[in-house]
Amino acid sequence: MPITKPSLFPNTRPQFSRDLSIKQFLAYYWYKDELAAICRRVGLEAAGTKAELQTRIAAFLHSGKIPKRSRRAHFSQLRKTFLLALRSVLRWAW
């Protein structure tokens, strides 16, 4: 299934493939939703800004490897940290 949007110059940009060079990939304009779809298709994390997605895809094209996804802290872990901060003794340094 090709990932393209209508443009003024149809068929000028190549379809994304794993064989695409980084230079070719970066030479063309890609919409953010296209970049997210590419990330999902190859198994990369699809969240982030457009620049982050482009960087992630370029790194994938360079190495051919899919990095491990970053693990975010769960709300319960953040809540425990916050509660400890509320219970701690504050000393004024005046």
Express each pLDDT in 12-28 by its tens digit: 788 999 999 999 999 99
> pLDDT tens for residues 18-57?
999 999 999 999 999 999 999 999 999 999 999 999 999 9
Query: pTM (2 decimals)?
Result: 0.62
Contacts 24+ apart (CB under 8 A), 58-66: 58/22, 58/25, 58/26, 61/18, 61/20, 61/21, 61/22, 61/25, 62/22, 64/18, 66/42
How many domains is the chain built from? 1
Assess if residue 8 is contained within a domain.
Answer: no
Which domain range does residue 74 map to?
A: 22-87
Assess if residue 14 is contained within a domain.
Answer: no
